[in-house]
Amino acid sequence: MSKALANVPVDPHALCISDIERLAAPRMTLQTASYYNDGADSGTTLRENISAFSKYRIRPRVLRDISVIDTSVEIFGHKNTLPLGVAPTAMQCLAHPDGEKATARASRKAGIIMGLSSFATTTLEEVADESQDNPNVLQLYLFEEREHSRKLIARAKKAGYKAVFLTVDTPVLGRRNLDIRNKFTLPKPWKIANFEEDNDSDAVNAVMSGSSSASGGSSAVSESTAGYHDGTKRVPPSGKIRFHTHAPNPTLNWERDIAWLKQECGPEMQVWVKGIATAEDTELAIHYGVDGIVVSNHGGRQLDGALATLDALPEVVEAAKGRVPVHVDGGVRHGTDIFKALALGCDMVWIGRPVLWSLAYRGQEGVELCLALLAAEFERCMALAGVTSVSQIDKSYLVKMDAAGFPHKL
């Protein structure tokens, strides 16, 4: 038995991620739970991100010596304990007062790379301090007003971040009905920490269009204006940096923006694109020189009815042909899900909501538990499937179930 399997924290109330999800629910406000858990429109893609894994079954091999198993992979020169990263998710202090700091400490302890959202409630420097030698990547919304993005990139380089993950699936915001219904705002004392110098007011940061300030007075939205086209030219967003006004950028394009971003990141940080779902965009990403791809649909929060990420993955992997690493996020809830995604050709997976639920459940200890559970589940899956290293996992270990319930080799 390996160290990972032997040292899984025993919490009889939380033996799997679904237990943690259930335990987290009463520990979050209605607004927070809705913000974290909601998908776009009817939530079809959100649900299918999870259910897509059930289309596949594992073909285990036996009578192989699996007494020594190595679950690690290398990323950015770092030996990552698992082929798994902690995805960048916004405003983690809503789940627990320690927020991103707790996540960084837990990730460091587990030896697992952490992504930080631009719209975090903790500065990127504070997260880097907590991470120490454990690597971080910065999720980036490339603003129309480039100076805001330029300053953020420069700070990330100085703090030692390894890469920028450019979110490319948000030219406009998906419609998130629960946020609108619940009038979601970021309550005091929390702020969008990485842009505090640009937001000198202590007003509540409204997140979704139509939200009003908690005071019931003037709307926080009025302090920030979304970009628009006036009939002759594009007028960029103005005012304080808010998610609903500044994060969506309908002007982004391959030709101009990837080149600009690569120049700004320089040799210190790689440039990845997060939100790819097709072979065509994979080819374009490689053509314009990105360093890596994350297959993502924003956790089912953007285009409802889009492909589940696991369903999109094989097409992207085939198009990439090993020229750049391909990662995937969305719907991972168990170690067997990690195995299935790897068997379909990705190099790593990222998890978002399980970390948020774990923060809400028990802060740093909750995130440590989450990562330990997934590590043990993945290693046990490897053992029972008959593999001893991540590099051995390929599509020969999977079958896909058809609509009639019959398995087919890939």
Q: Which residues are catalytic?
A: 298
Beta strands in 23-77 (DSSP E): 56-58, 73-75
**Strands 292-295 and 326-329, how do they pair?**
parallel
Identify the bridge partners of residue 70 per DSSP, sorted by sequence position: 389
Residue reference for tokens 């790819």: 276
Longest dimension (CA), the chain: 70
> How far, in Å, CA of 242 to CA of 213, rounded?
13
Beta strands in 260-395 (DSSP E): 270-276, 292-295, 326-329, 348-351
Q: In the structure encoding, which two tokens stand for residue 229, read together?
A: 């086209």
Buried b (16+ CB within 10 A) or exposed e, 100-112: bbbbbbbbbebeb
- 3-state SS assignment for residue 82: coil
Q: Are 152 and 194 in contact (CB under 8 A)?
A: yes
Beta-carbon contacts of 103 under 8 Å, excluding residues fewer than 6 positions away, are 86, 92, 114, 355, 359, 364, 367
Tally Cβ neighbours within 10 Å of residue 406: 9
User: Quick one: how many helices (H) and strands (E) in the chain?
Assistant: 14, 19
Tally Cβ neighbours within 10 Å of residue 222: 12
> How far, in Å, CA of 113 to CA of 15, rounded?
23
- At 125, which amino acid appears? E
